Structure 1
């Protein structure tokens, strides 16, 4: 089972692009507070890459911006690509099936027929 649930704030505005097949792909970084503090009493924060395909991705790009609070439900995957320097790169990211806008009343979910198209999330 590969399920992830996160609540956090966008660390920056989402980017939107389209796969070669024409599917919308939005990407953003979610800042998620950890339940721990560092030695100075500051909250620890994880910055997690999120990708959303199809209508979910389009809604994220249209309505979300830096600082907005969202809930994300999805799965982990490892994205792999060639860097400009020719070296292989990889990162773990969350593929969002559902994004709930917690500052408002919108919730966007991906239909089963809108599943993502492989490793289209480089960069």
Structure 2
């Protein structure tokens, strides 16, 4: 059987870090994951997914993230149930996190927080809803040759949005095979 979950989203609040009676750290948080389509009103909706992380990973995750942090998690879905104080059976479905990745720098997170964080009008976290910026210097240079010409620098016009590396300004985009993630 396969039970694997990979999610990228933003924390809806700071991680709630607690310790069990035996001293094991456990963190609980909710991840807002945007859907890949819009509703009838043209607004992008999000799913709010409860996640749990254990031990040293929980402490590290709580120390390096905060409300609005963009994170990637990998884990498994777990269901459990318990009887509440009124004697009713409560069913819980959550993601148990095995691995996580911080997907924005501390500076980007602080800038987003200073810009207002969550904006309800476009249902997105992060103020300007821009994609992560492309690196200013290529990570690796592909060997130059007839099938892979040298990249050209064309600085004749500034882009309409300096934060958008893919803004349409009339220039072609030269991408080598080494720049692709797959």
Gapped regions of structure 1 (runs ≥ 5): 106-123
Q: Following the alignment from structure 2 to structure 1, what is the Cα–Cα distance between the partners of residues 23 and 82?
A: 20
Q: Following the alignment from structure 2 to structure 1, what is the Cα–Cα distance between the partners of residues 82 and 26?
A: 16
- Describe the SS at the equivalent of 1:57: helix
Runs of 4+ more than 2 Å apart: none
1:23 equivalent in structure 2 = 24
Cα deviation code 1:28-54 (max 9, x no counterpart): 000001111111111120000010001
1:34 equivalent in structure 2 = 35
Matches within 5 A, 1:28-107: 28-104=29-105
Aligned-CA RMSD value: 1.3
Q: Following the alignment from structure 2 to structure 1, what is the Cα–Cα distance between the partners of residues 70 and 84?
A: 31
Q: Tell me the matched-pair count.
A: 105
Which one has a bigger Cα radius of gyration?
2
Tell me the TM-score normalized by structure 1: 0.80
Q: Following the alignment from structure 1 to structure 2, what is the Cα–Cα distance between the partners of residues 84 and 13?
A: 27
Q: In the TM superposition, what is the alpha-carbon distance from 1:63 to its structure 2 partner?
A: 1.7
